Homo-oligomer: A and B are copies of this chain.
Amino acid sequence: MTTIALDMMGGDFAPLEAVKGVSAFRAENDEDIQLLLIGAEGKISELLNTYLPASSGYTIIHASQVIGMHEHPTRALKEKQQSSIAIGFQLLASGKADAFISAGNTGAMMVGALFSIKAIEGVLRPTIGAYIPRENGKLGLLVDVGLNSDCKPENLTQFATLGSLFAEHILNTPNPKTGLINIGEEEGKGNLLAQAAYPLLKANSQIHFIGNIEGRDILLDKADVMVCDGFTGNVILKLAESMHDLVQRRGIKDDHFDRFNFETYGGVPVLGVSKPVIIGHGISGSSAFKNMINIASRMIRTDLSGKIRESFS
């Protein structure tokens, strides 16, 4: 049986939206998935009585502490052993959960992912990917979006492998086209990192490398997986997110731009760690929580971690 741990206290609208997300997930899925709902027991069970009255398939795991959105990640995780995030990683590390999801303190989630459950052997640096909507209705993947702000060329080629496996197995994009984000089309262009990463990507037999892509290609479907350092990726992601706000402010209604509301996707997967971890957006609403549970379930079902392990062995 599959067991997914969910931090009910993470995000700006916790625990209400988390409970509603669980309820929405249950309404659409009859899979045999056991949910471990971590948080303030009294509050959560009260909300569950309202939003999910006649359901089984979950266990509330009481957490007496919460890590605030602005606490120092490493310190908070160390000092608040009874926090929902710390307990989530304990469940994951001990094998009691197969995946862990939280929309709480992003830094604490990153630190937990890196140090509680460790990287898969051979993975130098795990990475965080984000979805970039395509006009054809599909999703592209941008890696890294902030876990690794300074990168070595070897990191980028590994991100490409990790992102390609995610795109293939979770986003259902067979043989995903992988591009290096750069400031020119030809090999040899770019900063020192991109120049050095290009030949490594070209030699990487695990990916379908299509060469450099530029800023203007990011919103097109030129590449399914787009690789860059976490500084560049984070700036791109937040700029793309802000386009949605701008379109909203301008009073423009458009289906495609609606898909730039990144909140609806739920969260971004941490790739390269031994078990599925999903980091949610602080403003996650119920559909975000539902989607995150779905992605975690798919990551478990397809044994993405096993496939990554195989690739790096």
Residues of chain B within 8 A (CB-CB) of A243 are 219, 243
A249 within 8 A of B: yes
Residues of chain B within 8 A (CB-CB) of A231 are 183, 190-191, 194, 232
Stretch of A210-218, A280-288, A302-310 with 4 or more beta carbons under 8 angstroms from chain B: A210-218
Stretch of A51-59, A252-260, A268-276 with 4 or more beta carbons under 8 angstroms from chain B: A252-260
Residues of chain B within 8 A (CB-CB) of A228 are 235
Q: Count copies of this chain in the complex.
A: 2
A135 within 8 A of B: yes
Q: Do B240 and A219 touch across chains, with their CB atoms under 8 A apart?
A: no
A1 within 8 A of B: no
Q: Do B250 and A237 touch across chains, with their CB atoms under 8 A apart?
A: no
- Among B183, B236, B240, B250, contact of A146 (Cβ-Cβ < 8 Å): B183
A154 within 8 A of B: no
Once the chains are docked, how many angstroms separate the CA of A256 from the CA of B229?
Answer: 31
Q: Do B239 and A150 touch across chains, with their CB atoms under 8 A apart?
A: no
Q: Do B190 and A149 touch across chains, with their CB atoms under 8 A apart?
A: yes
A241 within 8 A of B: yes
A238 within 8 A of B: yes
Mask of A86-120 contacts with B, CB within 8 angstroms, 1/0: 00000000000000000000000000000000000
Once the chains are docked, how many angstroms separate the CA of A5 from the CA of B256?
Answer: 45
Residues of chain B within 8 A (CB-CB) of A217 are 242
Nearest B residue (CB) for A149: B191
Nearest B residue (CB) for A145: B183
A181 within 8 A of B: yes
Chain A, 198-231, CB within 8 A of any chain B CB? 214-220, 228-231
Residues of chain B within 8 A (CB-CB) of A215 are 234-242
What's the least CB distance linking A292 to chain B, in Å? 21
A27 within 8 A of B: no
Once the chains are docked, how many angstroms separate the CA of A239 from the CA of B216?
Answer: 5
Chain A, 117-171, CB within 8 A of any chain B CB? 135, 146, 149-150
Nearest first, the 6 A-B pairs at minimum CB distance are A215-B238, A149-B191, A215-B239, A215-B235, A183-B234, A216-B242
Beyond the given A135-B246, A236-B239, please list 16 additional residue pairs across the A-B interface where CB-CB is below 8 A: A149-B190, A149-B191, A181-B235, A183-B234, A183-B238, A190-B231, A191-B231, A214-B234, A215-B236, A215-B240, A215-B241, A216-B238, A218-B239, A228-B235, A232-B235, A250-B254
